[in-house]
Chains A and B, each alone.
Chain A
Amino acid sequence: MSRGDFCFIVALLSLAVISFLPWTRNMQWAGMSMLGWMMALLMVLSPSIALLRVIKERNQSTPPREEVER
């Protein structure tokens, strides 16, 4: 596993752990508990960052066009 993938998984799981600490249930923002906001954040961030990483990896593994033509 690459270092980047490992760091991403650790960050994702850390955010998930923080989201489920007891304080997120009681503290509210805009009428909703922080648990809800943290979960919404996870739902947006996790696939977006993972997608960017996959695209970046694909671009790095694809040789530039000039190189292919040569």
Chain B
Amino acid sequence: MIEKILVATYLVICILIGILVSRRVLNSRDEYWVAGRRIGPWINAMAIMAALASGGSILGVMGYAYKAGIPATLALFAGAVVGFPLASILVARPLRRFGKFTITDFLSWRYPNPIVRVGVPLLIVFCFTMYIVAQMKAAGITAEALLGIPYNTSLTLATLVFVLYVSVGGMLAITWTDVIQGTLMVAVVLGTAMLLMSRNGNPVEIFSTGIQAAPMLGAAGERSLLTDLGAFVIWAAAIPIIPHVVMRVYTARNANDARLSLNLAMIIYSIVILTAVMIVVPVGKILFPALDDSDQVFLKIMESQFNPVIRGLAVAAVLAAVMSTTDALLLACSSAIAHDLVANVWGKNLSNQTISRLNVIVVWIVGLIAMTLAYSPPELITAYYTDAIGALSAGLFVPVIAGLWWRRANSVGGIAAFVVGVAVYAALVFMPDLPKRSGILIALPASAVAMWLGGIVGKADSSTMVEAVGQLHRSE
């Protein structure tokens, strides 16, 4: 009972935050999508960490390490960690100076063409819907395992809560709920590790015992090198362009704060991932050596080792991880449709009130579609959403980076890089003989070659555009 009260309290707090900030944000696009651009570096860092540390990062990271071993898991998550310094150096400063709201804003300005204006938001919505489905599975199995609520019921409840507070509270509600959620996540993962250490010895002893009991945990495994490398590259290339991280660059007060918060976020994220993988998973492998659903390892530990209060906090933490990512993804989908597609492509003269209503409707539609898909969940959540993110990396990384840093980048090259990257990746995902997640290793170079050829063959950009891009790099 106490677990349910703790979780209910947490959900009510999230809804209240959404309702409290709704008056302030619903009549301003700046407030709704980028929280008025005045979030400080510490708050922004916690929000970025929470947005990235999804249900995948609590349940999925442990499930993946349990099944595929620690090296493969670290290869996947190290990609994201390396991606943040790249984002901090390559995109944070120029994109913060560019202003606006979304990654599509930049690409549509840099490569003014309907393929980019329509194709990019559609790709974002498609990939993020798959990402949201994976998060929802994490919410469902957690509530089912630890609270005894049936999967479909808990899935529906969690969806209604985060759709409600995102739809009315926008980025400001997300920021404050993410700070609470991030704190809860860090506390539960580190707290669990400390409790396990108090019972099983220091981290070195736990790690050694776990590896001896299950040598596969430390082995690189029979998987292809290309699978590990592909997962690493997908995340390293995704972070500088992934919309819910880029929107956080826009919420910062200035470019320096954006860079500071990106790197702070990654230090906290690394600590959480390394603790989960090096301490919690070895204990899980010793206690439960043959789980059918490896994503359940953390929940099994909670169920067998801890009292109802800690279990309640664990459920709240996993829900927090799920919701903090899903809310950011939902807002990114909302901005992709309401701002990028409807306002920018089809109706430039819509009032703020109309756009606000549209945001609310879009968040509800995307949330409900993802919920419906999550009733039949994917098998391994981390692998599932990594595949979806790969499509974004393949299509957007080269156009964004070249658009900012290559003087010869032009519309022909940008469009070609986008189309070729997505098409090659999509074709390779369905090739059965190719090692999983290795498609990105072909799609990304193909996208770069398309950009290069477009830059050479196509008409050079106007001097005004070259000058405007140069302004994004000027010293403050």
Q: Are B228 and A33 in contact (CB under 8 A)?
A: no
B218 interface neighbour in A26, A32, A46, A54, Cβ under 8 Å: A32
B385: Cβ under 8 A from any A Cβ: no
Contact with A along B274-293 (1 / 0, CB 8 A): 10001000000000000000
Which residues in B have their C-beta under 8 angstroms from that of A58? 256, 260
A42 interface neighbour in B82, B212, B259, B269, Cβ under 8 Å: B82
Instruction: Given A36-B71, A57-B256, check contact A12 B85 (CB 8 Å).
Output: yes
Pull 26 A–B residue pairs with CB atoms less than 8 Å apart, ordered by A. Answer: A1-B89, A1-B405, A9-B85, A20-B225, A20-B232, A26-B220, A28-B219, A30-B208, A31-B211, A32-B217, A35-B71, A35-B74, A36-B74, A39-B71, A40-B78, A40-B274, A42-B78, A47-B266, A47-B267, A47-B270, A50-B85, A50-B89, A50-B266, A51-B264, A55-B260, A61-B476
Nearest A residue to B278, CB-CB: A40
How many residues belonging to B are interface residues under a CB distance threshold of 8 Å? 43
Q: Are B89 and A43 in contact (CB under 8 A)?
A: no
| Shortest distance between the CB of A40 and any CB in chain B (Å) | 6
Q: Are B82 and A51 in contact (CB under 8 A)?
A: no
Distance between Cα atoms of A55 and B256 in the complex (Å):
9
Which residues in A have their C-beta under 8 angstroms from that of B329? none
Instruction: Given A12-B82, A20-B232, A32-B71, check contact A43 B77 (CB 8 Å).
Output: yes
Which residues in B have their C-beta under 8 angstroms from that of A22? 225
B62: Cβ under 8 A from any A Cβ: no
Q: Are A46 and B225 in contact (CB under 8 A)?
A: no
> How many A-B Cβ pairs are below 8 Å?
116
Contact with B along A1-31 (1 / 0, CB 8 A): 1000100110010001000101011101011
Contact with A along B211-226 (1 / 0, CB 8 A): 1100101111000010
B81: Cβ under 8 A from any A Cβ: yes
Q: Which of A30, A36, A58 has the most CB of B within 10 A?
A: A36
Q: Which residues of B contact A (CB under 8 A)?
A: 69-71, 74-75, 77-78, 81-82, 84-86, 88-90, 207-208, 211-212, 215, 217-220, 225, 228-229, 232, 236, 256, 259-260, 263-264, 266-267, 269-270, 273-274, 278, 405, 476
A54 interface neighbour in B229, B263, B270, Cβ under 8 Å: B263
Q: Are A42 and B81 in contact (CB under 8 A)?
A: yes
Nearest A residue to B265, CB-CB: A47
